[in-house]
Amino acid sequence: DPGAGLLYDWGVADFAPDALGSVLPVAAIDGNASTTIGSEIELNGTGSHPGSGNQLSYFWHVVSAPNGGAVSPQDKTSATLHFNADLAGEYGVVLVVYDGEKYSDAAYFNVQVV
């Protein structure tokens, strides 16, 4: 798992060459920003772009959830992320992509559950 244990720069990604002239990949998240308790949350990372590399690898992280929430995402290395919203509140998700050469900056997405 190339993404395991890395410290990420949690800034906003720019699709621009780095100091060595390589183009960094860009992580992008799409999905519903609000849903109801008990619903499955589905977030999509297929709008992400590779930089100088070829095929993308995806690394999803649920970084915040309501107190007491039990978040068990399915397949955190797929282009889409699925998990159930078991409590009301805000769930924060981060996506980082890897194009075989470089990691993207993180993309953030918040889902409000009512």
**Average per-residue pLDDT for the chain:** 85
Q: What is the pLDDT of residues 80-106, one digit of tens each?
A: 999 998 999 999 999 999 999 999 999
Decide if pLDDT at 12 tops 70.
no
> If we measure between CA atoms, which residue out of 37, 59, 46, 44 comes closest to residue 103?
59
CA distances to 25, 43, 51, 94, 98 from 101, in Å: 9, 24, 8, 20, 7
CATH topology of domain 30-113: Immunoglobulin-like (2.60.40)
- The band of 107, judged by pLDDT with boundaries at 50, 70 and 90, is very high
Residue 48: count other Cβ atoms within 10 Å of its Cβ. Answer: 22
The pLDDT value given to residue 105: 96
